[in-house]
């Protein structure tokens, strides 16, 4: 059974969705990957879908969901918060599971509409770099999904 990873943010509309899609593409054979929000927005930002499509990752099957969907139902080997608000508001039950790490990134949803795609791309690339480092720390060689 593969270890479960949970990426947690506030709205589950951008950063945690990006991280879920990236890790699934980079090391999906090693982990079951999930994302959730402390206050889910109910949808993924169109700019997030576009930025992921640009690098060949289809996240159209992912959806915005609440962290409460997993309470009492799943044990996560790793819980990774990707925003300060989620770090502060993460249910303690998740912080007591496995490894808890905090990877802070800017929030694309807070950018002006005309700058949102550019910020989303930058955040996507930062998350990818951080996950690459994290996988190396786990002694896992990431798949070069961009060449698939």
Q: Which of the residues are catalytic?
A: 9, 83, 90
Distance, first Cα to last Cα, the chain: 25
Distance, in Å, from the CA atom of 26 to the CA atom of 134, rounded to the nearest integer, reads 11
Torsion of CA 4, 10, 15, 21, to 10 degrees: 30
DSSP-derived 3-state class of residue 94: helix
Q: Are 108 and 120 in contact (CB under 8 A)?
A: yes
Q: What are phi and psi of 48, to 5 degrees?
A: -70, -45
Q: Look up tokens 């690339």; give the residue.
A: 125
- List Cβ neighbours of 125 (8 Å cut-off, separation of 6 or more): none
């Amino acid at each position: 059974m593969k270890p479960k990873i949970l990426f947690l943010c506030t709205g589950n509309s951008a950063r945690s969705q990006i991280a879920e899609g990236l890790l699934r593409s980079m090391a999906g054979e090693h982990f079951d990957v999930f994302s959730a929000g402390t206050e889910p927005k109910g949808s993924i930002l169109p700019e997030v879908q576009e930025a992921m499509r640009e690098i060949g990752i289809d996240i159209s099957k992912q959806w915005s969901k609440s962290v409460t969907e997993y309470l009492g139902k799943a044990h996560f080997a790793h819980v990774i918060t990707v925003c300060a608000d989620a770090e502060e508001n993460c249910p303690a039950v998740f912080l007591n599971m496995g490894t808890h790490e905090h990877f802070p990134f800017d929030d694309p949803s807070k950018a002006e509409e005309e700058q949102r795609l550019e910020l989303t791309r930058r955040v996507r690339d930062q998350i990818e770099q951080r996950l690459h480092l994290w996988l190396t720390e786990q002694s896992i060689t990431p798949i070069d999904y961009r060449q698939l």
